[in-house]
């Protein structure tokens, strides 16, 4: 890949504690702002050195001989640069220096490191990572391949050549070519950054290309169902059994906060008696592998009992007959149309409904909600509290009453 800037300089380097005499001659190669020094193994009198011409001054044989040597060395640099261009390789000062010094160590390549990183994640699934984490990294790797082909016409790139421009162009590719939203783009770049940070720690990147890049996400208001919308879905009678089952599964998620992947794998063995003597769900979230402990509300228990004798569930020990994600979404769209609900019915909106309409709106402390949702950070749960107009209204009503009492006492 062609560099953006290239420079070559011969100069005399003053040794430590230098007083007088010859100085060693060095060559400095600079590519895209990164410089590497190389000793020429020659010395020269500074009084006979042409700083502007970067060569020995005078016409004596020794001056001519030195200049011929330096010209040959310069030609070797340009020859190495030309060869890299012909081989469609990324030009870096480090690589040119290695070629001149006869080092054959191969440059570290991005895709090789990305694959190695993903293999390590794969081997740690169930210990440090959830399966979904590996899926995200694999997807990001494929996106990185597509971007490099689109931007540079390359299938791989040297790690040392990744800079701020690479990151900003990657962001542009996600938003323009892939048509990803801002937050989705930031998620992918966040995954990519983890691999880059690994390269920085290994010393393969001198400068963090993300240093001046803003990774902030835009706040998006999460939709949830109101009590009225929930009741409409509960009361609706469906002639098709498939719609009745999907409605029950969806409502179960609304009253437990479980995501699609978690309700699909929920086993009867995960329904246990809690400290209060009531039935709880004890499960691990598939996405983050964090523990979720959820006391079961009466309506959620009704749904569990409804499928106690379900043949589809009995053989596998599952709680509910959850269909594929594709079928689930298709049937939920039918249910939304029949129930005249304009909001998209998804497992995400069910989870949001549990956090807002079912729990926070009814005074359940945010810390308890966070634990039931399996959030690893309370700030994730706090987002739900921000969007509750009802809670804001209740808080303001309490303030009005307080101010009213203060005013009455004053008068």
The string of pLDDT tens digits covering residues 325-378 is 899 999 999 999 999 999 989 888 998 899 888 998 888 888 888 888 887 777
Q: Tell me what the mean pLDDT of segment 107-116 comes to.
A: 90
| Band of pLDDT at residue 411, cut at 50, 70 and 90 | low
pLDDT exceeds 60 at position 105:
no
pLDDT of residue 126: 77
Q: Residue 366: what pLDDT? A: 84
Which residues, at least 6 apart from 356, have a Cβ–Cβ distance to it below 8 Å?
224, 384, 387, 388
**Worst-scoring range by mean pLDDT, 110-119, 154-163, 400-409?**
400-409
User: pLDDT confidence of 104, banded at 50, 70, 90?
Assistant: low
pLDDT of 238 higher than 60:
yes
pLDDT above 70 coverage of the chain, percent = 93
For the segment 13-36, what is each residue's pLDDT rounded down to a tens digit? 998 888 889 999 999 999 888 889
Q: CB within 8 A of 229, min separation 6: which ones?
A: 339, 341, 343
pLDDT, tens digit, 9 for 90 and up, residues 55-78: 999 889 999 999 999 999 999 999
- pLDDT at position 385 is 67
């Amino acid at each position: 890949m062609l560099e953006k800037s290239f420079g070559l300089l011969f100069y005399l380097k003053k040794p430590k504690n230098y007083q007088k005499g010859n100085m060693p001659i060095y060559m400095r190669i600079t590519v895209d702002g990164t410089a590497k020094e190389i000793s020429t193994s020659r010395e020269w009198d500074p009084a006979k050195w042409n700083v502007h011409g970067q060569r020995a001054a005078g016409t004596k044989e020794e001056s001519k001989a030195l200049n011929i040597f330096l010209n040959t060395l310069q030609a070797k640099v340009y020859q190495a640069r030309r060869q890299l261009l012909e081989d469609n390789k990324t030009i870096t000062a480090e690589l040119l220096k290695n070629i001149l010094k006869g080092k054959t160590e191969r440059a570290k390549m991005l895709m090789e490191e990305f694959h190695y990183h993903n293999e390590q994640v794969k081997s740690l699934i169930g210990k440090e990572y959830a399966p979904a984490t590996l899926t995200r990294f694999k997807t990001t790797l494929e996106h990185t391949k597509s971007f490099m082909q689109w931007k540079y016409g390359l299938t791989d790139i040297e790690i040392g050549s990744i800079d701020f421009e690479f990151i900003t162009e990657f962001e542009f590719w996600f938003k323009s070519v892939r048509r990803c939203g801002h937050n989705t783009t930031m998620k992918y770049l966040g995954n990519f950054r983890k691999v880059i940070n690994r390269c920085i720690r290994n010393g393969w990147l001198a400068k963090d290309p993300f240093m001046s890049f803003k990774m902030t996400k835009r706040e998006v208001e999460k939709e949830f169902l109101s009590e009225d919308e929930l009741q409409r879905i509960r009361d609706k009678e469906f002639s098709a059994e498939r719609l009745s089952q999907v409605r029950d599964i969806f409502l179960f998620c609304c009253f437990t906060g479980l995501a699609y992947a978690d309700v699909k794998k929920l086993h009867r063995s995960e329904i246990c008696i809690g400290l209060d003597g009531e039935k709880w769900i004890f499960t691990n979230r598939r996405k983050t592998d964090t523990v979720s402990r959820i006391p079961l509300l009466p309506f959620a228990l009704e749904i569990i009992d409804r499928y106690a004798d379900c043949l589809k569930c009995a053989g596998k020990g599952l709680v509910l007959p959850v269909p594929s994600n594709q079928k689930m979404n298709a049937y939920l769209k039918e249910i939304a149309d029949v129930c005249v609900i304009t909001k998209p019915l998804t497992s995400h909106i069910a989870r949001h409904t549990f956090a807002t309409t079912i729990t926070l709106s009814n005074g359940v402390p945010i810390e308890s909600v966070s634990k039931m949702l399996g959030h690893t950070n309370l700030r994730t749960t706090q987002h739900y509290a921000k969007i509750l107009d009802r809670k804001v209204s209740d808080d303001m009503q309490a303030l009005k009453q307080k101010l009213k009492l203060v005013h009455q006492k004053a008068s």
